[in-house]
Amino acid sequence: MKARILGMVTSGMLLATAAPAHAERDTAQFTSLTVFGDSLVDAGNIFAATGGAIPSAADGYFNGRFTNGYDYTDLLSIELFGAPTVASLQGGTNFAFGGARASNTNDIVPDLGEQLGLYTGFLAAGNEVDSNGLYILNFGGNDIFNAPADPAAADMFIRQAAQDYAAGVQFLNDLGVRNVLLTGFPVAGPLGFGAEAYLTQELAALNLATDTSFFRYSYFDFFDQVLTDPDSLGLPAQRLDITCQAAGPEAIANGCDGIFSFDGIHFSAPIHEALYRDINSQFNLTAAVPEPETWAMMIFGFFMTGSAIRRRKKVRVQFG
């Protein structure tokens, strides 16, 4: 399938058109959104590559996503620009493919390195790096799922995944990207915790530009909050003993509310919504930047306030 997917890209199915910022949100702090990742953020690349067979709408999946609604990157894009992300095979800048790994070890779909290669092809087609855009990397789950059974080999495997993951950040930085959001490994357990430790080491060794904003998000912290304090995330107590698909059509019709997993691997739509809210709360990604006129008014206001204070200091108060 990997050869077929790459062939689809080179044959012109990847439209080299940058997604414009929404005209009504020209004061947003980011002017575009580009996504690299796996099935948690795939906006339809696998769907397009399989002719709509995977993930199937008949199984409750939504618009080519591996869940029953928009994922957290879609929700962020909707808030920033008024529309969800669009898969790269459908002309957009979401290069995520279900099944992708941080390490370049998947022979079926494009992993992180190959997705970055697709992005450089996108640039070669006449597009430019948006230094004011936000770039999201969401990998790691498939690396953990596919680690060798032998403990020593598994340790080497996840170490390589962490190295490749961090190298992707450096690659984007060197291209001129200046806003990067990276999510940690989303699978708990010894391998997941080990991979996170390796990732921390690798990220600390990066040589990023002084004006690069790097946001690192922890899935483990999010999971802990979902389990111990779901109300803080706007969630009810979550059922972990059943998937939304297994709960049946009624649960799907109700939006999978109160059920953590849609299919046993992927988050349900309400979890993605909570994920979006938590990420946005931590990093304030959708905050608007004041327009130049607003800045001028603020500066003038500060000047007038300062002048008034200085004048008041000159007033002498006499007591009869």
Confidence of residue 144 (pLDDT cuts 50, 70, 90): very high
CB-based contacts of 133: which residues, under 8 Å, 6+ apart? 30, 31, 32, 33, 34, 177, 179
Residue found by looking up tokens 């939304």 in the block:
244
pLDDT in tens, 15-73: 444 444 333 444 568 999 999 999 999 999 999 999 999 999 999 999 999 999 999 99
Confidence of residue 292 (pLDDT cuts 50, 70, 90): low
What Rg, from alpha-carbon coordinates, does the chain have?
23
In terms of pLDDT, which residue wins out, 79 or 302? 79
On the question of pLDDT at 128 being above 90, the answer is yes
pLDDT at position 281, please?
96
Confidence of residue 136 (pLDDT cuts 50, 70, 90): very high
Q: Among 36-40, 212-216, 220-224, 294-298, where is mean pLDDT lowest?
A: 294-298
pLDDT in tens, 232-258: 999 999 999 999 999 999 999 999 999
Phi, psi for 134 (deg, rounded to 5): -105, 130
pLDDT in tens, 162-188: 999 999 999 999 999 999 999 999 999
Nearest partner of 84 among 68, 98, 73, 96, judged by Cα:
73
pLDDT at position 290, please?
53
CA distance 314 to 303: 17
Percent of the chain with pLDDT over 90: 80
On the question of pLDDT at 10 being above 60, the answer is no
Please give the single-letter amino acid code of residue 176: G
Nearest partner of 212 among 182, 178, 177, judged by Cα:
178
The mean pLDDT value for 136-149 works out to 98
On the question of pLDDT at 7 being above 80, the answer is no
**What is the per-residue burial (b if ≥16 Cβ within 10 Å, else e) of 234-265?**
ebeebbeeebbbebeeebbeeebebbbbbbeb
What does pLDDT average to over the chain? Answer: 88
CA distance 166 to 30: 22
pLDDT at position 293, please?
59
**pTM of the predicted model as reported, rounded to 2 decimal places:** 0.85
On the question of pLDDT at 308 being above 70, the answer is no
